[in-house]
Amino acid sequence: MTLTLSKTDTRFCEACWTEPVTASRSVGGGQRDLLCGGCAEANAPRRVDLFPPLGMYKLTGRRIEMGKHSGGAPKPPPNQGPALPSPKPTTTPGRPPV
């Protein structure tokens, strides 16, 4: 059977990324892994999904729900420095504030 690659298919093995594609492995759902002969015989797994379902490498549904700050609202930094003066100092015309 001849392996047919589309314009968007990778030309390098998805397991080792060094050898040209010579074999494919069906993974279900119309998907396939494109592998070199050595990786296909060794049943090597793919190293990375270039375009996973969520569109970004290592981005999962759980990570989207949690967000960057998973512990609720953002918290202020532990050391905020000295308090601002009250009232606000006035600036002198022609001189930068110090």
Question: Is 10 contained in some domain?
Answer: no
Q: Structurally, how many domains does the chain consist of? A: 1
Is 18 within the bounds of a domain? no
**Least confidently predicted of 9-13, 30-34, 48-52, 56-60:** 56-60
Q: What is the pLDDT of residues 64-80, one digit of tens each?
A: 555 555 566 667 778 87
Query: Could you tell me if residue 87 is inside a domain?
Result: no
- Whole-model pTM: value is 0.48
Structural domain of 58? 23-65
User: Which residue pairs from 37-46 have beta carbons closer than 8 angstroms and sit at least 24 positions apart in sequence?
Assistant: 39/13, 39/15, 44/15, 44/16, 45/15, 46/14, 46/15
**Beta pairing partners, 20:** 12
Amino acid residing at 38: G
Please report whether residue 33 resides in a domain. Answer: yes
